């Protein structure tokens, strides 16, 4: 009952100074909202990164060739390195027991295609049957081609989601045919939509990972001629998946050492390790989150100073009231509790409004900047808890100062 009475009286005192209370509360509102908004950005970025790394596969190692920018550069490379070749793939497969599955990869941009795609011409990827499993490709229609299709150079294709829509529309594509550089290919599968970004940023890859047509590697080599092969290595890449329980980072070091040996130290390939990327991204994300929260916490600090300011001003204005209450029997604890209650009401009310502002801020960022934001329960609880704590801490000093006022001096105060 005593606590309820203190809160009712504190609310009445705050309502008597509406403008001052509103201005003081705004500092807490913006502080809490900023903390929630910044943590929502961090959580969204972390979620996107995890999806990004999951697409690559944490047990995968991705080797990519670096195409030459000119024929002169290619000639200089060939003096020391044969480039990324099938021989490299055979050496890796034979000498590294930790590799569970592997797929070589070739890419090309076709000259002609029927039906004519709109708006962009898809890229052709020649891969092995294991490629779908390595990259966890999910199919909306049909299935990924098998080893038999690769061994027999079957004229089959698996379409990315965008390639399927651009070529065949939104109707079912399974069993239909497309013509690529004069060769008819039967559609045996259609992939579900993948992340739109290209994590490896390959020079020879399309900007949209959904706008790709996958065909068996032997079909690619025996039925197609890449017009730009003069500036490329024999292979565009080799995708590896290490066995469960193996350290992909350590295996990648062995892969790099083997390729450095076969390429005689020529820097004409790159090795991407998703597990290492994940660890680096988590460290970077943690630093980013700490910095963003620290910046947002400054707003809460400013709000706390505002609370201390208004309570101190209230103590001076109500000095005679304090004297009267003390003279009729109020204890110092009663006086302190009254002013702490006002500080808590300001911080708690500002915290609740700040939560709503934080959700609004996260939504506005996601809508205007096309950035994924995720408001977590942890961020809401933490921001609200900090706001109440700030209110209590910054309200204690003015409350103690009010409690120490001598009753006689307070009654004489004008």
- Among positive and negative, which fits the CA dihedral 270, 275, 276, 281? positive
Mean pLDDT of 343-359: 86
Give the mean pLDDT of the chain.
81
How many whole angstroms separate alpha carbon 5 and alpha carbon 124? Answer: 76
Pick the more confident residue, 131 or 274. Answer: 131
Q: What SS3 class is residue 138?
A: coil
- Contact present, 236 and 204 (Cβ < 8 Å): yes
The C-alpha angle with vertex 270 and arms to 267 and 274, in degrees rounded to 5, equals 155
Please give the pLDDT value at position 279.
65
pLDDT in tens, 141-187: 999 999 999 999 999 999 999 999 999 988 999 999 999 998 999 99
pLDDT band at 198 (very low <50, low <70, confident <90, very high): very low
In 122-196, DSSP assigns E strands to 123-127, 139-142, 156-159, 177-180, 183-191
Secondary element (H or E) of residue 402: helix 377-403
The C-alpha angle with vertex 326 and arms to 324 and 331, in degrees rounded to 5, equals 155
How many whole angstroms separate alpha carbon 220 and alpha carbon 226? Answer: 9
Mean pLDDT of 322-334: 72
How many whole angstroms separate alpha carbon 316 and alpha carbon 76? Answer: 84
- Contact present, 87 and 262 (Cβ < 8 Å): yes
Q: In whole angstroms, how far apart are CA 85 and each of 104, 201, 226, 390?
A: 9, 21, 16, 64
How many whole angstroms separate alpha carbon 188 and alpha carbon 143? Answer: 6
How many whole angstroms separate alpha carbon 362 and alpha carbon 113? Answer: 44
Residue linked to tokens 């030459």: 68
In percent, the amount of the chain with pLDDT more than 70 equals: 82
Please give the pLDDT value at position 1.
61
Residues across the chain:
414
pLDDT band at 205 (very low <50, low <70, confident <90, very high): very low
Kindly write down the DSSP assignment for every residue of 32-48, as one continuous string: HHHHHHHHHHHHHHHHH
pLDDT in tens, 246-262: 888 888 899 999 999 99
The C-alpha angle with vertex 56 and arms to 52 and 60, in degrees rounded to 5, equals 145
HEC letters along 62-131 = EEEECCCCCHHHHHHHHCCCCCCCHHHHHHHHHHCCCEEEEEEEEEECCCCEECCCCCCCCEEEEECCCH
pTM of the model: 0.60
With CA atoms as reference, report the closest residue to 406 among 320, 317, 309, 312: 320
Please give the pLDDT value at position 10.
66
pLDDT in tens, 34-90: 888 888 887 787 777 666 665 666 788 899 998 877 788 888 888 888 889 999 999
pLDDT in tens, 362-407: 888 888 877 778 888 888 888 888 888 877 787 777 777 777 776 6
With CA atoms as reference, report the closest residue to 41 among 364, 398, 393: 364
Q: How many CB atoms lie within 10 A of CB 349?
A: 18
């Amino acid at each position: 009952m005593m606590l309820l009475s203190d809160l009712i009286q504190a609310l009445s005192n705050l309502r008597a100074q509406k403008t001052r209370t509103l201005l003081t509360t705004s500092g807490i509102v913006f502080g809490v909202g900023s903390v929630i908004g910044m943590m929502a950005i961090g959580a969204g970025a972390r979620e996107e990164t995890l999806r990004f790394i999951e697409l690559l596969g944490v047990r995968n190692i991705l080797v990519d060739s670096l195409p030459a920018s000119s024929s002169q550069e290619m000639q200089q490379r060939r003096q020391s390195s044969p480039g990324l070749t099938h021989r490299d793939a055979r050496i890796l497969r034979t000498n590294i027991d930790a590799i569970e599955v592997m797929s070589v990869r070739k890419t090309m941009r076709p000259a002609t295609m029927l039906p004519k795609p709109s708006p962009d011409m898809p890229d052709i990827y020649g891969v092995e049957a294991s490629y779908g499993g390595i990259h966890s490709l999910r199919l909306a229609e049909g299935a990924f081609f098998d080893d038999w299709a690769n061994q027999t150079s079957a004229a089959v294709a698996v379409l990315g989601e965008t390639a399927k829509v651009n070529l065949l529309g939104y109707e079912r594509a399974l069993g239909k045919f497309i013509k690529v550089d004069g060769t008819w290919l039967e559609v045996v599968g259609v992939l579900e939509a993948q992340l739109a970004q290209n994590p490896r940023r390959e020079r020879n890859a399309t900007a949209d990972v959904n706008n790709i047509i996958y065909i068996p590697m032997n079909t690619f080599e025996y039925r197609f001629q890449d017009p730009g092969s003069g500036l490329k290595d024999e292979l565009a890449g080799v995708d590896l998946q290490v066995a469960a329980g193996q350290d992909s980072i350590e295996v990648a070091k062995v892969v790099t050492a083997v390729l450095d040996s076969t390429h005689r130290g020529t820097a004409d390939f790159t090795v991407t390790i998703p597990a290492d990327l994940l660890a680096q991204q988590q460290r970077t994300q943690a630093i980013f989150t700490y910095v963003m929260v620290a910046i947002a916490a400054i707003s809460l600090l400013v709000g706390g100073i505002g609370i201390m300011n208004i309570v101190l001003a209230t103590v001076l204005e109500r000095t005679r009231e304090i004297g009267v209450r003390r003279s009729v029997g109020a204890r110092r604890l009663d006086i302190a509790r009254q002013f702490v209650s006002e500080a808590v009401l300001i911080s708690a009310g500002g915290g609740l409004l700040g939560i709503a502002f934080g959700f609004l801020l996260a939504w506005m960022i996601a809508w205007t900047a096309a950035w994924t934001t995720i408001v977590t329960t942890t961020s809401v609880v933490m921001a609200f808890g900090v706001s109440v704590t700030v209110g209590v801490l910054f309200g204690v000093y003015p409350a103690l100062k009010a409690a120490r006022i001598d009753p006689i001096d307070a009654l004489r105060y004008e």
